[in-house]
Chains A and B, each alone.
Chain A
Amino acid sequence: MVFSLGRSKENDEINNTASIISKPSPVESLKNQVQQELALANATELVNNITDNCFQKCLSNPYSDPQPNCVDQCLNKYLKAWNTVSKTYIARIQDPSTSGEI
């Protein structure tokens, strides 16, 4: 390769490739940022809801000994309930006969 101070087409291509690898485009990094923040918001919501529900079901009675596995079981049950609700809701909003009303 010939050394030159000016910008050759070849150098530009190399620079562009390098910039794609080292740094995502502004649009891509903006999209990633939005998706990460949404994921965080959803995780926070889930943690709060599971804590509320499972605290109530497992530990709300101070007179009885807490069941050691209760919170773990409740957590798994909540996640399964989430999936059931999600399936039902999505089936309902995708049903063309009712989706217009919701």
Chain B
Amino acid sequence: MSPSNGKFLDSTELSQLDDSSKNEMVTFLDNETSKQKVQMSIHQFTNTCFRNCVASANSSSLSPQEEQCLANCVNNFLDTKIRVVKGLQHVKE
């Protein structure tokens, strides 16, 4: 994409944004940041759980066992995370 279609803003244009536009951008960026955090977690879980649950790639669809394993893997990972956080809070006290 070329800058002429308005994709890239220069700093003078940015500093000219009025307050309501700035607030709109803050809300937008907060939303996008939360969405992106979820996306990155899904990338991480898929990477880890695919490695553990999918034995071979001799079919292009998931078996029911593999599907169950992936769901368990995600839930176990999150349970572990909660346990670790609680454990560390306990250590701190």
Task: Please list the residues of chain A having a beta carbon within 8 angstroms of any beta carbon in chain B.
Answer: 23-27, 29-36, 38, 41-42, 45-46, 49, 52-54, 56-58, 67, 70-74, 76-78, 80-82, 84-86, 88-90, 92-93, 98, 101-102
Contacts and interface: CB of A to CB of B under 8 A. Distances in A.
Interface string B8-44: 1100011011000100110011001000101111110
Nearest to B29: A34
Interface residues of B, number: 49
B60 A77 contact: yes
B61 A77 contact: yes
A34 B53 CA distance: 34
Contacts of A73: 57-60
Contact of B62 (A41, A56, A77, A98): A77
B60 A84 contact: no
Given A45-B40, A92-B75, A72 B60 contact: yes
Contacts, number: 123
Interface in B38-77: 38-43, 45-47, 49-51, 53-54, 56-62, 66-67, 70-71, 73-75
Contacts of A85: 42, 45-46, 49, 70, 73-74
Interface of B: 1, 5-9, 13-14, 16-17, 21, 24-25, 28-29, 32, 36, 38-43, 45-47, 49-51, 53-54, 56-62, 66-67, 70-71, 73-75, 78, 81-82, 85
